[in-house]
Amino acid sequence: MSLKVVTIVGARPQFIKAAAVSRAMLERPGEIREVMVHTGQHHDTNMSQVFFDELQIPAPSYQLSVSGGGHGAMTGRMLAGIEDVLLKERPDWVLVYGDTNSTLAGTLAAVKLHVPVAHVEAGLRSFNQHMPEEVNRVLCDRVSTLLLCPTQAAVDNLAREGREQGVHDVGDVMYDVALNYLDQAREKSRILERLGLTERGYALATCHRAENTDSADRLEAIFAALADIAEQLPVVLPLHPRTRMRLVEHGLEHYLRRLSVVEPLAFLDMVALEQAAKVILTDSGGVQKEAFFYQVPCITLRDETEWVETVELGGNRLVGASRQQIVSAWSHVMQSPGVVQGMPYGNGQASNLVVQALLGAC
């Protein structure tokens, strides 16, 4: 009888990671069977369905349609919905990705029903407890049975916390995706033509984390810096819905007039923009890594990063939310973009190693 795995997804980065691992499961029919649950955390077409379509992810077996509200309310509603699914499906494993509320809800629902949890991207640490993502990932790692780490640094973090059993350095499943879809993005996406852009002729920016969007001072510093940069180099900004709302609330939407604002993008369009950009400015963990994969200089709009290797190897600069530091880092990158040395995220086989770990642990 095949192993049954319930996979919990809910946000854009999880759809991308699931694309690689779900494909690896489908390549082993009779050994492993996946039941996918979409919590609804990211629910609109541009943040959800387009990723299932482009990445050819199997349609979720369950759609919980939980979105909006505070962290507690959202997580609680997800927890109740996921518990119902697990009671019905009786899986051998629950598979969770990353550090979102969907990750935490899936983990809590599983462990309370004594279903073992496999956590992909285990061991990442920003060491900033004010970040909801940090709280989520620490809690999930504490109770997961399989800790599937993307890097040796993540393994080392867990060891310092006393976790060594069930820990595997499988590499980064997002690197698998980057390798699989880069050529497709170049061939199929027409986003540069639609936006009138030339290769290396623009900066790409994203901003969505609560630490930036919920602080009027940080948000203004970031967008003032982007506006400064836009005076010399076009800045393309796929604008997250929450960020747009916060800009309006804080009276900062006037900065958008100086940027090339677009709606959240389909996966292949985003990859096409990333790999052709002159520089990327972001507070997204996933975009930091994608910049690293595509050898594009990255400026991270945070005070710390979980992806320390990108900084140590010269592909990423941490600048926080200082207008002066952001513009200074951009000027430095324009003069000397640097060369990334090494690839600490595996060899593109992380998704297969995740499946092997699930099968080996049963």
Q: Which two tokens stand for residue 345?
A: 């995220």
pLDDT by position in tens, the chain (length 362): 789 999 999 988 898 899 899 999 999 999 999 999 999 876 554 445 666 777 778 789 999 988 778 888 989 999 999 999 999 999 999 999 999 999 999 999 999 999 999 999 999 999 999 888 999 999 999 999 999 999 999 999 999 999 999 999 999 999 999 998 888 899 999 999 999 999 999 999 999 998 999 999 999 999 999 999 999 999 999 999 889 999 999 999 999 999 999 998 988 999 999 999 999 999 999 999 999 999 999 999 999 999 999 999 999 999 999 999 999 999 999 998 776 778 999 999 999 999 999 999 64
Query: Coil, strand, or helix at residue 186?
Result: helix
Q: In which element (H, E) is residue 60 found?
A: none
Q: Can you list the alpha helix ranges (DSSP code H) found in 189-215?
A: 191-195, 210-213
Q: Residue 328 corresponds to which amino acid?
A: S
Active site residues: 208
Nearest-angstrom CA–CA distance, 167 and 240: 34
What's 70's DSSP letter? -
What's the pLDDT at 55?
78
pTM listed for this prediction: 0.88
**Helices 216-230 and 323-335, axial angle in degrees (round to 10):** 30
What's the pLDDT at 45?
47
Q: Can you list the alpha helix ranges (DSSP code H) found in 46-126?
A: 49-54, 71-89, 101-112
Nearest-angstrom CA–CA distance, 268 and 51: 9
Q: What is the dihedral of CA 172, 175, 176, 180, to 10 degrees?
A: 170
What's the pLDDT at 43?
55
Query: Tokens 């940027």 label which residue?
Result: 259
- Ordered structural domains, the chain, with CATH: 3-172+346-361 (3.40.50.2000), 182-335 (3.40.50.2000)
Could you tell me how far CA 169 lies from the centroid of its own chain?
Answer: 18
- Beta strand ranges found along 49-189 (DSSP E): 62-63, 93-97, 117-120, 146-149, 167-169
